[in-house]
Amino acid sequence: MTSAAIHSPPVAKASGAGQTIFQRNLRQFAANRLAMASVGVVLLFVLLAIFAPFIAPHDPNETDLFRRLQPPAWQAGGEWAYLLGCDALGRDILSRIIYGSRISIFIGAAVIFVATTVGIAAGLAAGYFRGWVDVAISRLVDILLSFPYLIFAIGLMAMMGPGLVNIILALAYKEWVIPCRVVRGETLATRELEYVEAARALGASSAHIMVKEILPNILSPVIVVSTIRIAHVIILEASLSFLGLGVQPPTASWGSMVADGRAFILGAWWVSTFPGLAILLLVLAINVASQGLRDAFDPRFQE
Amino acid sequence: MSLGKLAERLLHLVPVLLGVSVIVFLMMALTPGDPVDIMIGDQNVTPEQEQAMREDLGLDLPVHRQFFVFLGNAVQGDFGTSFYHRRPVLDVIVERLPATIELSLVALIIALVTAIPLGVLAAIRRNSILDKMATVGSLLGVSLPGFWFGILLLMLFAVHLQLLPVSGRIGFSSEIEPITHFLLIDTLLRGRPDAFWDALKHILLPAITLGLPMTAILMRVTRTSMLEVMRQDYIVFAEAKGLKRGRILFRHALKNALIPTVSVAAIETGSLLGGNMIVETVFGWPGLGRLVVESVFLRNYPLVQAAVLFYAVTYVLLNFIADILYTTLNPRVKL
């Protein structure tokens, strides 16, 4: 972002002494305690995912029919070694939730990474070259936006079959449209600014102008949108897994764990409740954190 | 909006719809597994019969020709035969549609009647406890996974309190001869208030689950636009004139504040369609969404294809209506 401060006087004007706009925004974000707490929760989940084998008290796929539907520790019949109880195959729910965080976070991050990369490339090309490139990309965006997200993903999963890579692809096929629209709009506005014109006059190539001049200056809104979208993608993945179209058993994923518990809502409330609570916590934390990011980094939300 | 403008906007839909059908066609054309093999299953068929089936379905044609055949048939409402039901796909879909539409409409009504008053209250009592609760509530509303929320509702109201039924559209004893196929209407038309009550009890939880994210979004939109409108000169002027606060709020402010709410509601109705798959699965609701999910597992591809196309076309039309509503309600916007 330092290059942003050098290159674009209209956007990145230092406000305080020796502070770039980025530093000021970052400080504003850090002052938002609720947002920082949410970042903490998200980080906690990321750590859980990375160190799952060391943190999880049990093997997530180890079945024990003697512990079938064993209630959580604080209920009669529960054990502290199996804090959140066990599912219908006697697997430890806490361990499965910890391992399940890997799926949610990995798929969420992978989809957003792929989608943002493709979206930035397509959006830059559409906004910079305009003309038929813009028409072609924008039409494709319009068409993809015409599909409700879940049905589109379901259709693709039906076609490609289940599997980790296929889920990422099925979601990314539509997700890139969102960063693309943001980047296109910002590029259209930025390409007319003086410093871009100056670079062009100096003989810089289109690729150089797009990547080195325009991109750094439009990155903030893209990052803000992408963090908000991670929460959506996590819910979509969980929804696909819930429907049985996502990650296949026995791999623990939060959506399929909630689905497993559906058959036992009469007696074993914990089987569905805890994995769902994990989804809610993570998604809520991402939503609050990204709202804080937006308030701090998006000039449109600044008073 | 003039008729010419309307026609122009409608014309813009053509390339989008064409693109949508290309994608839907490709989605299924690229599906591994031969439809003829799936149709045959474990029946004994001679190679000649198999070839005849292939020709019958147009599968011997090159891909681009297959697309035009698909498009031509689709425009005439012919989406092929549902492998599983052994009936035309369109018939099966039409049969399931009323349940889905009824559920979506009730969800929409629930969302509107809760979101608008809450949004207005949050705006006029800005920064009060109520406003803060509404903000937290709307954040929760968009963060709750629908399938989980539905299960929680089931556990509380159906299992624990035993107030509401677990699944289905209506109880056995309340089944009636359909007229419109919308049960909430048919039960009244047949003069069966008990059956109406039963149908209402069945639809309540699924509709709340489906409507929750929309409620959250509409409440936010209403709150924001209400705050915006209250800052306008004409409201300040009305206050200066000494008009009663209630009159200012409802006659002057709300009318304008609802413009964004209405158009967002139209767009979000499209998202309700997407949520149907989840909610209908959780509550065993016999609608289109559940049919699609079942069809994926049964590899009933023609049905999945037709349903995806149907959802997309409906979504495009709803967005179109949202645009038109926005321009008609707000004369300042010229599109």
- pLDDT tens per residue across span A186-215: 999 888 888 888 998 898 898 999 988 899
Residue A4 phi/psi, 5-degree rounding, is -60, -40
- Could you report the predicted ipTM of this complex, rounded to two decimals? 0.87
pLDDT at residue B331 tops 90: no
Q: Give the pLDDT of residue A295.
A: 83
Read off the pLDDT band of B298 (50, 70, 90): confident
Chain A residue at shortest CA distance from B275 = A150
| DSSP 8-state class, residue A269 | T
Of the candidates A63, A146, A66, A164, the one whose C-alpha atom is nearest the C-alpha of residue A108 is A164
A207 and A214 Cβ atoms separated by less than 8 Å: no
CA distance linking residue B96 with residue A62, whole number of Å: 41
- Per the CB < 8 Å rule, is B293 touching A154? yes
pLDDT at residue B32 tops 80: no
- Shortest Cα distance from A23 to chain B (angstroms)? 28
CA distance linking residue B282 with residue B290, whole number of Å: 9
The beta-carbon contacts of A48-51 under 8 Å, at least 24 apart in sequence, are A48/A98, A48/A101, A49/A98, A49/A101, A49/A102, A49/A105, A49/A106
> Residue range A37-60: average pLDDT?
94
Among A104, A140, A141, A143, most B C-beta atoms within 10 A, so best to mutate, is A143
CA distance linking residue B254 with residue B207, whole number of Å: 26
DSSP for A93-111, written as a single string: HHHHHHHHHHHHHHHHHHH
Give the domain CATH number at A249: 1.10.3720.10
- Residue at A90 is within a domain: yes
- Per the CB < 8 Å rule, is A255 touching B146? no
Integer Rg of chain A from CA: 23
Q: Which of A146, A158, A238 sits opposite B296 (nearest CB)?
A: A158
- Per the CB < 8 Å rule, is A239 touching B273? no
Domains of chain B from N-terminus onward: 93-300+315-329 (1.10.3720.10)
Average pLDDT, chain B: 86
Quick: pLDDT tens for B5-27.
888 888 888 888 899 889 888 88
Q: Which residues of A touch B142 (CB under 8 A)?
A: 287
Whether B156 has its CB under 8 Å from any CB of chain A: the answer is: no
Average pLDDT, chain A: 87
Burial (Cβ within 10 Å: 0-12, 13-18, ≥19) of residue B116: buried
Show the tokens assigned to B327.
């321009």
CA distance linking residue A267 with residue A262, whole number of Å: 11
The Cβ of residue B55 has, within 10 Å, a number of other Cβ atoms equal to 11
- Per the CB < 8 Å rule, is A265 touching B315? no
The Cβ of residue B76 has, within 10 Å, a number of other Cβ atoms equal to 9
Quick: pLDDT tens for B254-284.
888 888 888 888 888 877 877 889 999 999 9
Among A34, A145, A147, most B C-beta atoms within 10 A, so best to mutate, is A147
- Shortest Cα distance from A119 to chain B (angstroms)? 19
Residue given tokens 């039906």 in the structure block: A158
Q: Measured in whole angstroms, how far is the alpha carbon of residue A161 from the centre of its chain? A: 23
Show the tokens assigned to A76.
């009669």
3-state secondary structure of A71: coil
Q: Which of A143, A149, A279 sits opposite B19 (nearest CB)?
A: A143
Cα-Cα-Cα-Cα dihedral of B2, B8, B14, B15, to 10°? -140
Q: In Å, how far are A29, A282, B26, B225, B232 from B124, measured between CA atoms? A: 28, 32, 51, 11, 14
Handedness of CA B25, B30, B31, B36 (dihedral sign): positive
Residue given tokens 């890579």 in the structure block: A165
- Per the CB < 8 Å rule, is A148 touching B27? no
Give the predicted TM-score (pTM) of the model: 0.88
- Per the CB < 8 Å rule, is A265 touching B159? yes
pLDDT at residue B335 tops 60: no
CA distance linking residue B46 with residue A44, whole number of Å: 61
Whether B143 has its CB under 8 Å from any CB of chain A: the answer is: yes
pLDDT at residue A262 tops 60: yes
Q: Give the pLDDT of residue B66.
A: 83
Q: Give the pLDDT of residue A158.
A: 82
Whether B84 has its CB under 8 Å from any CB of chain A: the answer is: no
Show the tokens assigned to A252.
């623990």
CA distance linking residue A108 with residue A247, whole number of Å: 13
pLDDT at residue B84 tops 70: yes
- Residue at A19 is within a domain: no
* pLDDT over 90, % of chain A: 52
pLDDT at residue A8 tops 50: no
> Residue range B144-173: average pLDDT?
90
In this predicted model, which residue has the larger pLDDT, A2 or B28? B28
Q: Give the pLDDT of residue A270.
A: 93
In this predicted model, which residue has the larger pLDDT, A276 or B172? A276
- Per the CB < 8 Å rule, is B19 touching A142? yes
Q: Which of B275, B282, B292 sits opposite A154 (nearest CB)?
A: B292
Q: Give the pLDDT of residue B329.
A: 76
3-state secondary structure of B212: helix
Among B22, B148, B149, most A C-beta atoms within 10 A, so best to mutate, is B148
Q: Give me the domain span that covers residue A208.
A: 35-301
> Residue range B73-83: average pLDDT?
82
Quick: pLDDT tens for A84-101.
999 989 899 999 999 999
3-state secondary structure of B125: coil
Q: Give the pLDDT of residue B334.
A: 53
* pLDDT over 70, % of chain B: 96
> Residue range A52-56: average pLDDT?
93
Q: Give the pLDDT of residue B218.
A: 93
CA distance linking residue A31 with residue B324, whole number of Å: 43
Read off the pLDDT band of A73 (50, 70, 90): confident
> Residue range B46-74: average pLDDT?
81
- Residue at A234 is within a domain: yes
Ramachandran area for residue B147 (φ above 0: left; ψ -120 to 50: alpha; else beta): alpha
The Cβ of residue B48 has, within 10 Å, a number of other Cβ atoms equal to 8
- Residue at A109 is within a domain: yes
Q: Which residues of A touch B151 (CB under 8 A)?
A: 258, 261-262, 265, 272, 276
3-state secondary structure of A19: coil
My answer on whether omega of the bond before A250 falls inside 30° of 0, hence cis, is yes
Strand partners, B240: none
Among B135, B143, B309, most A C-beta atoms within 10 A, so best to mutate, is B143
pLDDT at residue B74 tops 80: yes
CA distance linking residue B333 with residue B335, whole number of Å: 6
Q: How many CA atoms lie within 13 A of B180 on its CB side?
A: 11
At a CB cut-off of 8 Å and minimum separation 6, what does B205 contact? B150, B153, B154, B157, B158, B164, B283
Of the listed ranges B105-109, B135-139, B249-253, the one predicted with least confidence: B249-253
Q: How many CA atoms lie within 13 A of B247 on its CB side?
A: 6
Quick: pLDDT tens for B99-117.
999 999 999 999 999 999 9
Q: Give the pLDDT of residue A302.
A: 54
Tell me the residue type at A117: T
The structural domain count of chain A equals 1
Q: In Å, how far are A80, A88, A266, B210, B311 from A269, measured between CA atoms? A: 18, 12, 7, 22, 34
CA distance linking residue B242 with residue B257, whole number of Å: 21
